[in-house]
Structure 1
Amino acid sequence: MLPNIANLSTQLDNNTALFLDILDTIPADKLMVRNQHTQWTIMESAEHVLMIEQSVCETLQGNTAPVQDRSPDSKVKQIAELFMDFSKRLFVTKPIASKTVYKDIASYSTDFRATRELIKGALEHHPDQECKAFEHNLFGFLTKIEWIYYLIYHTERHLHQITRIEDNLENMPA
């Protein structure tokens, strides 16, 4: 059974609020700090999330086609299992640089919210169709529904990473 699109949109809004609320609690002087236990800074992780969001937003606005031989949400479980298994490390060789370098959370939040609004708008048209503008290297072509879950789980994974980075910074010798 397909998820209710209004409920999925609400889940995306809740995920947005949680992500930005947590970023708001982090002192500005910790956003760009790196130590021996963390490859990424908090801001690099946040910028990576936004870069993925912007790429997916473009994908959602591209050509779509009806799904063949599967349910339009059949890959959600696989996506959740990948991102929510915190015992497994997902490898990106280095922080992926964003087109924009943010100096503060306020300007970052403005861009993140604007991108999420565009994403929600794209979800309103043919949410159960596959997006043909981009094929994910692990999941293949995803429907708009699956891409939204991808973004939610991807953001949750990076929230976990950001919390771990902040904890490491708290334990860093002065």
Structure 2
Amino acid sequence: MFQKIINELEEALGETISLLSSAEEAQLNAVPFEGSWTAAQTGIHLLKSGTGMDKLFTAPAPVTERVADKNIEELKSIFLDFSRKMESPEFILPEDKHYNKEELLILLKELRLAITEALKKATLKEVPELPDWNPFKGYTKLELVYFLIYHTQRHNQQIKNILKNVSA
């Protein structure tokens, strides 16, 4: 099961990298319609939401007394419901600017490696310390991995839609 989780995350982030790699830099920075992020901004959002997770996964934390996967199905139903419009927390909003394709891809590849390496050392039944304002306070490391997987899958779908609209 442990390797399956790592594979799922690697696959999701790998798809992000592949999607962004497949487009020209101008396409990555093109706004498909008013109020939308660009594909590059979506990649930056994923980068911001995943940055620091490697340290979170390897930091010692108390082991939960509840079932470690209790919130996974709820996360899946929230993030993979593509009809649901969601608002990003301000601290992981991408800046409205032009992004360099190669720099973005390098950062995403580094993030994927850092997180997957950290997961190999993680105890997924632990509940990491998070600030009170964090919506995932009280979640296990296992649930946080699945947040990353489902969140990335959601935004991969968004990137596909963006690229389809800017390529048309």
| SS of equivalent residue, structure 1 residue 66 | coil
Percent identity among equivalent residues? 21
In structure 2, the partner of 1:119 is 115
| Aligned 8 A contact 1:50 1:112 in 2 | yes
Q: Which runs of 5+ in 2 are unaligned?
A: none
Q: TM-score, normalised by structure 2?
A: 0.84
- The Cα of 1:117 is off from its aligned counterpart by 2.0
| SS of equivalent residue, structure 2 residue 51 | helix
Q: Which runs of 5+ in 1 are unaligned?
A: none
Describe the superposition over 1:3-62 as per-residue Cα deviations: whole angstroms up to 9, x where unpaired. x21111111122222221111111221111114344211111110100101043343244
CA RMSD of aligned residues (A): 2.5
Letter in 1 for 2:19: I
Distance 1:165 1:57 in 2: 29
Distance 1:115 1:93 in 2: 20
Closer/same/farther in 2, CA of residues 144 and 118 from structure 1, 3 Å limit: same
Deviant stretches of 4+, over 6 Å: none
- The Cα of 1:133 is off from its aligned counterpart by 3.3
Count of matched residue pairs? 165
Distance 1:65 1:40 in 2: 38
Distance 2:132 2:55 in 1: 13
Q: Which of residues 135, 143, 151 in structure 2 aligns to 1:146?
A: 143
- The Cα of 1:127 is off from its aligned counterpart by 1.7
Q: Which of residues 95, 98, 103 in structure 1 aligns to 2:100?
A: 103
